[in-house]
Amino acid sequence: MFWLLLISIGIIVIAVFGLPGLRRLVITGPVFTLFKKILPAMSQTEKDAIEAGTVWWEGELFSGKPQWEKLLAYPQPKLTPAEQSFLDNECAELCRLTNDWEATQVHHDLSPTAWQFIKDKGFLGMIIPHQYGGLAFSAYAHSQIVQKLSSRSSAAAVSVMVPNSLGPAELLLRYGTAAQKDHYLPRLAKGLEVPAFALTNPHAGSDAAAIPDTGIVCMGEWQGRQVLGMRVTWEKRYITLGPVCTILGLAFHLHDPDHLLGEVEDIGITCALVPSNHPGVHIGRRHWPLNAVFQNGPNWGEDVFMPLDWIIGGPAMAGHGWRMVMECLAAGRAISLPSTSTGIAKLAVRATGGYARVRSQFNLAIGKFEGVEEALARMGGNTYLMDAARIMTAGAVDLGEHPSVASAIVKYHITERARGVVNDAMDVLGGKGICLGPSNFMGRAYQQIPIAITVEGANILTRSLIIFGQGAIRCHPYVLREMQATQHADANAGLRAFDAALVGHIGFAIGNALRAVWLGLTGSHFVSVPANVAPETKRYYQQLTRFSSAFAFLSDVSMLVLGGGLKRREKLSARLGDILSQMYLASATLKRYQDEGCQAADAPLMHWAVWDAMFKAQQAFEGVLANFPNKVAAWLLARIIFPLGRPYVVPADALGHEVAKCLITPSATRDRLTDGMHLPQSEIEASADPVGLIELALAATLAAEPTEAKLRAAMKKVGADETTALQGGRSKDSLLAVADGGTAMNERERLHLAQQTGVLTTAEATLVTHRYDLRDQVIRVDDFPADFS
């Protein structure tokens, strides 16, 4: 009887799902009606944000079975000869012209010389095509330049970054009229115009779509005649380059109460280009963001009349401003803050690692203490991963993508990991890090790191609402299609589209559930991976496939159980976003390792970074399951996702030890890890630079270490075994002289005595003296008069 019932149910299911008409009547029709009722209302700005940009590798991770061949086939970004030359010459020269201490204490800005150099050399027009006089650089070149400047000066990096990111140039290139492009782009490329983009209002920060700034379509006088235009009232703040801009990109909500443009009264968010010297435009004083001296400040205007031709793209683009901003942000956010944060991290890693080898306590380099090693390991592993994600995402932009979800991932996670790197650097540096002055290379970065956390989408908002909130709709192969079907003007056509999407969705969810169980039970050992991957990375590809299947299934169950309520469950949404993010970061790390030729010396960095990302993804899974509102579903999900327990723990101490060694020892690995940061190019230049001094002192330390070890051995009290007194062929008396004097002498006196007694040669003593001199310069901190300000 049971088997007959089971067969009957099977026949009914097959009949229903095999007959589309019957299926729509019995199953998808009622679901379609219910779905339309429970689907939360979505504003036009929300639709614009969700539909902006493109789906890239993050979509593969949402599929449950990522195609690793596709990831590895993406070309590794490369600089053209012109881009490399600019990076090596003009960019390096700007770094030399930029003294961070002088900028913050003397000019409170870049020096006039540095500003003029930026304008003359085309830094403000890197993304502008050659036909308009720009440099036409790739996204990767843009990223490399910003990274290098960030390792030297935040003011230089931000002043160059903003005009080439979300700003008038980007908006004009995508949406401007021919006349607007012909007029403004050559002037922007030559530095004749300094642009700023004004979006944030005091009452609309993270909720930027709710800006209360308004424009009213009306007739008004312009250049002696009556024209159709708009009167705009606005109040903006936090506008980078605002205090020095000559052309202001302005976002406001446009209304047409008299229907001068058509039947629509509430036209929507609109973007216009406004000369900063236009009557009624008020450029305020500057903000002072955590002692960063890049120009940033408020501006406002009241009933300022401007012609409709000032709308970017002309009157036809009125009301399309939010979509324009979101699409530009999808690309710009993938480059700007990931590049600045990675540049700062490379500075921290190289300089702090060198300092940890140069600085000794208890007769041991501090970088060899396990506690310090732990911090250095995090710094090295995080920086390797950050750079991998930065490069891969910039490369996506160069492939023509505008990866809105991936850009949110790298914006959030690279800025957060940079914060961790800088905090670890400060812990290692101790007093050296907290005393500001010309010899402090980390203090300003420590002060200013929260700026990146705050801008281009506050990090809490990005993690809680955007990464999964947008990713679940854009990256999922069926959800957006289902949502679009409910909004179809033709109900029957909408039902047919919904039916096709829902059937695909059900199959997708069942497939991922079965795959997740199988991969969990087998430890994913039978997952096929590309034949050309390094053997040491094979298991990571397999485990990432397992996590991808589990994530896709968990996402579907979460959306099914919580429905529209998932949007309000920000903590769960954030953790689901963390899983997607960590898989993306691990993918980028594996691609970097593969692209760079699977360098065995770099393997500890790769292993630490991937292991850490996978452990964090696992923690995010646990966070979702522990807080899932339906406890029965949570129990079942846990058995499906982790049937045999959790596969990952924190990266091993032994692995962290190997990573820390990479930071404190000059090597090709250390050079690759910090490639692209600014370093002085001559000994004279290095001797006047805090990072350059560390490089010189590190080389001197390594050269002197064997001699210092010889000296320490000589200082030990001679025991009963006479052979220990004959070290280096010297007599017992000479060794005892050094040892006996050691308790009352300082290191330089002991060194002099060792030379006098013949324990060390003159050349050896000179080598150690040089090391002492450079070390003392490195560990020195600045002091100032009592009335210093």
Token pair, residue 123, equals 């830094």
More confident residue, 216 or 492: 216
pLDDT in tens, 287-328: 999 999 999 999 999 999 999 999 999 999 999 998 888 888
Alpha helices in 430-537 (DSSP H): 431-434, 443-454, 459-461, 467-474, 479-486, 491-522
Task: State the pLDDT at residue 8.
Answer: 47
CA distance 141 to 83: 6
Alpha helices in 596-679 (DSSP H): 603-626, 631-641, 653-664, 668-673
Residue type, 673: L
Question: Which pTM value belongs to this model?
Answer: 0.93
d(CA 79, CA 151): 19
Query: Does residue 9 have a pLDDT over 80?
Result: no
Phi, psi of 468 (to 5 degrees): -85, -35
**Confidence band, pLDDT 50/70/90 cuts, at residue 122:** very high
For all residues of the chain together, what is the average pLDDT? 90
**Residue position matching structure tokens 């129990």:** 635
Which pairs from 489-495 meet CB under 8 Å and 24+ separation? 494/32, 495/24, 495/28, 495/29, 495/32
Helix (H) or strand (E) run with residue 249 in it: strand 247-255
Angle between helix 336-358 and helix 154-161 axes, rounded to 10 deg = 160
- Six-digit token string for 144: 């490399």
Confidence tier at 207 by pLDDT (50, 70, 90) = confident
* DSSP assignments along 16-27, one per residue: HHH-HHHHIIII
- What is the reported pLDDT for 313? 96
**CA–CA distance from 436 to each of 37, 95, 293, 782 (Å)?**
60, 20, 15, 7
Position 744 pLDDT exceeds 80: no
Confidence label for 561 from pLDDT (cuts 50, 70 and 90): confident
DSSP state, residue 40? P
- Specify the amino acid at residue 772: Y
C-alpha–C-alpha distance, residues 176 and 157, integer Å: 26
Sign (positive/negative) of CA torsion 373, 378, 381, 382? negative
Structure tokens at 430: 């101790």
Q: Which ranges of 98-224 does DSSP label H, i.e. alpha helix? A: 100-102, 112-120, 139-150, 154-161, 168-175, 178-189
**Lookup: tokens for 733:** 């008396």
DSSP helix, strand, coil percent of the chain (3-state; round to 5):
65, 10, 25
Query: What burial class does residue 378 get, using C-beta atoms within 10 Å of its C-beta: 0-12 exposed, 13-18 middle, 19+ buried?
Result: buried
Q: Are strands 195-198 and 247-255 parallel, antiparallel or unpaired?
A: parallel
pLDDT band with cut points at 50, 70 and 90 for residue 38: low
Q: Which residues pair with 226 in a beta bridge?
A: 221
Q: What is residue 332's predicted lDDT score, i.e. its pLDDT?
A: 77
CA within 13 Å, CB half, 180: 24
Q: What percent of the chain has pLDDT above 90?
A: 74
Question: 245: phi > 0 → left, psi -120 to 50 → alpha, else beta; which?
Answer: beta
In tens, the pLDDT along 87-116 reads 999 999 999 999 889 999 999 999 999 999
At 98, list the tokens: 């930029």
Exposure pattern of 127-155 as b/e (b: 16+ CB <10 Å)?
A: bbeeebbbbbbbbbbbbbbbbbbbbbbbb
| Confidence tier at 494 by pLDDT (50, 70, 90) | confident
pLDDT at 704 over 60: yes
Question: What pLDDT sits at residue 477?
Answer: 87
**CA angle (572, 576, 580) in 5-degree steps:** 165
Instruction: Respond yes or no: is residue 683 known to be catalytic.
Output: no
pLDDT category at 735 given cuts 50, 70, 90 is low
Name the token pair of 457: 């989408």
Please report the pLDDT score of residue 711 as a whole number: 87
Sequence-distant (6+) residues with CB within 8 A of 680 are: 686, 689, 691, 692, 695
Residue with tokens 């009624």: 280
Structure tokens at 502: 């829902």
Going by their DSSP bridges, the two strands 214-222 and 247-255 should be labelled as parallel
Encoding tokens for residue 37? 């009722």
Give dist(CA 26, CA 9) in Å, integer: 15
Residue 294 · residue 159 · CB < 8 Å: yes
The span from the CA of 267 to the CA of 269, in Å, is 7
Q: Of the residues 456, 482, 708, 764, which is catalytic?
A: 456
Mean pLDDT (whole number) for 379-397: 97
| 45-81 per-residue burial string, b: 16 or more CB within 10 A, e: under 16 | bbebbbbbbbbbbbbbbbbbebebeebbebeebebee
Which range is least confidently modeled, 166-175, 534-543, 569-578?
A: 166-175
Phi-psi region for residue 730, left (φ > 0), alpha (ψ -120 to 50) or beta? beta
Place of tokens 């100032």: 784
Band the pLDDT of 722: cuts 50, 70, 90.
very low
Other Cβ atoms within 10 Å of 449 Cβ, number: 22
For residue 734, what pLDDT is reported?
Answer: 56
Cα gap 729→723, rounded to integer Å: 10
